[in-house]
Amino acid sequence: MIINVDKIRNRIKTATLGSAKTPELVAVTKNRSEEEIAALIDANQRIFGENRVQEAQAHWAEKKREIKNIQLHLIGPLQSNKVKDAVALFDAIETLDRPSLIDALSAECKKQGKNPVFFIQVNIGQEEQKSGVMPEDLPDLLAYAASKGLKIDGLMCIPPAHEPAALYFALLKKLADRHGLEGRSMGMSGDFEKAIALGATHVRIGSALFGE
Ligand X SMILES: *Cc1c(COP(=O)(O)O)cnc(C)c1O
> In the chain, what is the straight-line distance between the N-terminal and C-terminal CA atoms, in Å?
9
Report, in Å, the least distance between residue 149 CB and ligand X. 27
Comparison of 95 and 152: residue with beta carbon closer to ligand X: 95
Comparison of 55 and 103: residue with beta carbon closer to ligand X: 55
Report, in Å, the least distance between residue 190 CB and ligand X. 6
Beta carbons of 101 and 121 less than 8 angstroms apart: no
- Is 206 one of the binding residues for ligand X (CB under 6 A)? yes
Comparison of 176 and 185: residue with beta carbon closer to ligand X: 185
Closest residue (Cβ) to ligand X?
206
CA distances from 101 to 20, 35, 144, 158, 204 (A): 33, 34, 11, 19, 22
From the list 8, 28, 102, 141, which residue makes contact with ligand X (rule: CB under 6 A)? 28
Which H or E element spans position 54? helix 53-66
- Is 131 one of the binding residues for ligand X (CB under 6 A)? no
Cα–Cα distance between 96 and 65 in angstroms, integer? 26
In terms of Cα–Cα distance, which of 70, 137, 51, 66 is closest to 99? 137
Comparison of 139 and 211: residue with beta carbon closer to ligand X: 211
- Is 73 one of the binding residues for ligand X (CB under 6 A)? no
Beta carbons of 76 and 52 less than 8 angstroms apart: yes
Piece of the chain touching ligand X by CB under 6 A; list 34-42, 107-115, 139-147, 199-207: 199-207
From the list 9, 37, 43, 51, which residue makes contact with ligand X (rule: CB under 6 A)? 51
Comparison of 135 and 187: residue with beta carbon closer to ligand X: 187
Piece of the chain touching ligand X by CB under 6 A; list 10-18, 144-152, 174-182, 201-209: 201-209
In terms of Cα–Cα distance, which of 169, 172, 171 is closest to 154? 172
3 state SS of 74: strand
Residues 141-170 that bind ligand X (CB under 6 A): 158
3 state SS of 151: coil
In terms of Cα–Cα distance, which of 142, 143, 144, 125 is closest to 134? 125
- Is 187 one of the binding residues for ligand X (CB under 6 A)? no
Interface with ligand X by CB under 6 A: which residues? 28, 30, 51, 75-76, 158, 188-190, 204-208
